[in-house]
């Protein structure tokens, strides 16, 4: 799985005029299931992100995790994280999981993050959404389970 994690003051996701999920302060997590991923990978990634020390401690150092801060997470599916741009100018997305597998793993990831004790709101899988955020820091971290 791939995830782009952003520390946020606030974020929201909307479909048209309807806000369907929001968070803040905490994390905006854009997530993509890749071919070959399974529920164990989704659970492992959720645990890693819950413990990712990207929040400042009393000394101003990034030593605190979402679990430590009591913050929440907005989880949004984004298959375009699977983009392959090695050939030509049009990205290819064949490395992404199928929509059926991707949705199941997206839900498994959000559920696993919530099971860690984190408040989670989500976007709508496969929908055309508008995501807005106030990035805090800015702090943006790229995670790829194939690279760890």
Task: Identify the pLDDT of residue 137.
Answer: 93
Q: How far apart are the first and last CA of the chain?
A: 11
Q: Tell me: the pLDDT tens digits for 36-56?
A: 999 999 999 999 999 999 999
Contact criterion met (CB below 8 Å) for 46 and 58: no
Task: Identify the pLDDT of residue 85.
Answer: 93
Catalytic residue among 78, 109, 114, 122: 78
Catalytic residue among 80, 98, 130, 140: 80
Helix axis angle, 99-115 to 39-50, nearest 10°: 40
Residues 6+ apart with CB under 8 A from 44: 145
Task: Identify the pLDDT of residue 146.
Answer: 87
* Helix, strand or coil, per DSSP, at residue 121: strand
Residues 6+ apart with CB under 8 A from 41: 1, 105, 145
Task: Identify the pLDDT of residue 148.
Answer: 56
Is 93 one of the catalytic residues? no
Catalytic residue among 79, 109, 114, 122: 79
- Cα Rg, the chain, nearest whole Å: 15
127: pLDDT strictly greater than 90: yes
Place of tokens 């106030």: 134
Q: Tell me: the pLDDT tens digits for 6-27?
A: 999 999 999 999 999 999 899 9
- What structural domains does the chain harbor? 2-147 (3.50.80.10)
112: pLDDT strictly greater than 60: yes
Q: Tell me: the pLDDT tens digits for 67-105?
A: 999 999 999 999 999 999 999 999 999 999 999 999 999
Is 79 one of the catalytic residues? yes
């Amino acid at each position: 799985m791939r995830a782009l994690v952003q520390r946020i003051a606030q974020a929201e996701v909307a479909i048209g005029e309807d806000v369907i999920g929001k968070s803040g302060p905490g994390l905006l997590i854009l997530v993509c299931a890749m071919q070959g991923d399974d529920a164990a990978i989704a659970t492992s990634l959720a645990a890693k992100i819950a413990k990712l020390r990207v929040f400042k401690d009393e000394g101003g150092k990034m030593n605190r995790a979402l679990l430590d801060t009591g913050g929440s997470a907005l989880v949004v599916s984004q298959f375009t994280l699977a983009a392959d741009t090695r050939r030509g100018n049009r990205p290819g997305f064949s490395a992404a999981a199928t929509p059926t597998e991707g949705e199941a793993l997206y839900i498994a990831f959000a559920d696993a993050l919530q099971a860690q004790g984190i408040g989670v709101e989500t976007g709508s899988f496969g929908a055309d959404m508008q995501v807005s955020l106030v990035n805090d820091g800015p702090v943006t971290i790229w995670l790829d389970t194939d690279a760890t």
